[in-house]
Amino acid sequence: MWDIFLVGVGGCLGAQARYGFSNFSAAKFGVAFPYGTFIINLSGSFLLGLFLGLVSQNILAEESYRWLFAAGFCGGYTTFSTYAFETLRLLKEGKAVRALAGYLVGSYLAGLVAALGGFWLGTIF
């Protein structure tokens, strides 16, 4: 039962962080390109990679941290369902190159690099 509570608290915090950052990004960069979701996917990938790197070194091995941060916060913070919808929106607006080359491929590749960087950084502690 404790795990459900921790995931809920983490998810609530992650969702609030996502909401705040999305609004900030829209105000700062505009909405012609989904910068907020793009940056959130990258930073979420990095944070999860960093966390898992630390876990692999037994620095944050306590299972409750995994429920709170990995499943909860990161799960509430990163939303690939929004990512899919925004890709579809760009395609429907006739912005195929931006949708496919910039957003779809860019998110996957840069997210993988961010997760690798976070994991690497987590393993050097």
User: 66-112: per-residue pLDDT in tens?
Assistant: 899 988 999 999 877 778 889 999 999 999 999 998 998 999 899 99
pLDDT at 83: 85
The per-residue pLDDT for 85 is 86
The torsion region of residue 62 among left (phi > 0), alpha (psi -120 to 50) and beta comes to beta
| pLDDT for 61 beyond 80 | no
Using one digit for the tens of pLDDT, what is the confidence trace for 13-26? 999 999 999 999 99
Does this model's pTM top 0.85? My answer is: no
Nearest C-alpha neighbor of 18 from the set 70, 74, 58, 68: 74
